[in-house]
Amino acid sequence: MPARPHRRPLTTLLALAGVAALTVTGAAPAAAPASAPAKPNVVVIMVDDMNASALQYLPNVRSLLATPGTTFDNSVVSYSLCCPSRTTFLTGQYAHNHGVLGNKLPDGGYEKLPAAETLPVWLRRAGYATAHIGKFLNGYGRQRPTEIPPGWAEWYGSVDPSTYRMWNYTLNENGTLHTYGAAGVEDPALYQTDVYARKAVAYIERKAPAVEPFFLSFAPLAPHGEGAAAGSDLSQRNPRPAPRHRGDLAGVTLPKPPSYDEADVSDKPAAIRDRPRITPANEDRIENVRLRGRLESLLAVDDAVADIVAALRASGELADTLIVFTSDNGWMQGEHRIQSGKTVPYEESIRVPLIIRGPGLPAGKHVSTIAANVDLAPTILDAAGATAGVTVDGRSLLPIAVDTASTARGIVIETGPKQSGRWYAGLRAPRWKYVEHSTGERELYDLQQDPYELASVHDDPRYAPTRRALADRLATLRTCAGDVCRQWTPVPAPKP
């Protein structure tokens, strides 16, 4: 099989700024030279419910991706819930534009995905082979379990509700259903993350080297908790780690930042004020079952990262592959009295790891500029020289990665408006977080002075000009599309 010609480095791509700007807005790119070099492969590793603090327990991710790549230290998701966040990754749009506003109907779920125009479709048009392995969107497979979404040339998608089991799960493998394991049987060879990893390595070995570049989406369940699994004991660890990792992190203790079991929540919305304090029994379950289960389940993901990088290296493709490691949302574990969960606007819920390794990206660099999941598709399109089929709201992170200065940005954080339940819309800026709730309640945090979000200053007269400025910005950005979403000027700080 002939090897591809050497790919252009991302520094060359960045020099083509005019072309890159067009590719992320959906306009037609300028004609490429007849002898244009080949494009990089793209591998996206998206875990589920991993907060940024868990990165310290993943040595392979740090040594194989972060050390030779770029880490975005202020990476957030605009909607901290699985289905909306993953749709943002696939479309480059905020949830208020792509319309997936929940994990299930009527507000969201797989059935609401605008599947005809998504990242794999655009990359296929640009000449990429595409493959997905693992979790897709909530509800996938419930109605049509053998359906393959548009754009995916190879498909190994987990079928709900079995997605949320580390054993006894079913995959749609290119139109044929295969079940791995049985209820109550924990066969080490069939642990979900490991099966996905073997499929990823096999795909790389088949596709590389080749003239056609590839896009591989690798989506393990970890560290998301498992759902009801008949015959399975989740009382000690949920999720269950791979048997080889059980107990590896038994000595890890629950982090307790100042926001843990927050004593004074009088500044918070009623949904937080009404929460009880965390009891010793609650804390024991958070630490022993949830925290250690989550972290130990990630160790198999860390092994998978090593296997994927090794396969790319063995095929000679590692230097020409863009690898993205991130999560769909963060996770609360006792902060502000929230014992578990997401969808709230606090940092532990919206902050996620984001590491990008690839040709032309600085090695070992930490970037302070805010990055968001709305930027992932534009970044990949920029690297691939591909064109979006819709107007995207994010921007490529490639110029930000090589820039030496922090770029002022404000990111929309939202959970609505939706048909059922409470929702909010807000802004996450370098210093400020401002949130308007559907209940009429407000929150404003000065993250520079109050990084743990202990005291909302929305009613503080000193911050009134700042609050008004942020409210004005939100009035525009909460319904923004395209270029408007990328406009931001610094918000004035209160006078001493």
H helix runs in 351-419, sequence order: 376-384, 398-402
Beta-carbon contacts of residue 285 (< 8 Å; ≥ 6 apart)? none
Do 266 and 275 form a contact (C-beta atoms < 8 A)?
no
Sign of CA dihedral 57, 340, 76, 50: positive
Active site residues: 82
H helix runs in 81-208, sequence order: 82-91, 95-98, 119-125, 192-207
Q: Which is nearest to 413 in space by CA: 395, 431, 428, 397? A: 428
The whole-angstrom separation of Cα 282 and Cα 286 is: 6
From residue 220, alpha-carbon distances to 198, 327, 413 in Å are: 12, 10, 25
Q: What is the DSSP letter of 38?
A: P
- Per the DSSP assignment, residues forming a β-bridge with 306 are none
Tell me phi and psi for residue 389, to 5 degrees: -95, 0
- Per the DSSP assignment, residues forming a β-bridge with 335 are 260
The whole-angstrom separation of Cα 137 and Cα 120 is: 14
Q: Which is nearest to 76 in space by CA: 449, 484, 451, 427? A: 427
Matching residue, tokens 């054993």: 167
Q: What is the DSSP letter of 183?
A: T
The whole-angstrom separation of Cα 303 and Cα 245 is: 11
Do 376 and 383 form a contact (C-beta atoms < 8 A)?
no
Q: Are strands 70-72 and 75-76 parallel, antiparallel or unpaired?
A: unpaired
- The amino acid present at 83, given as its one-letter code, is C
Q: In angstroms, how far is the first alpha carbon of the chain from the final one?
A: 68
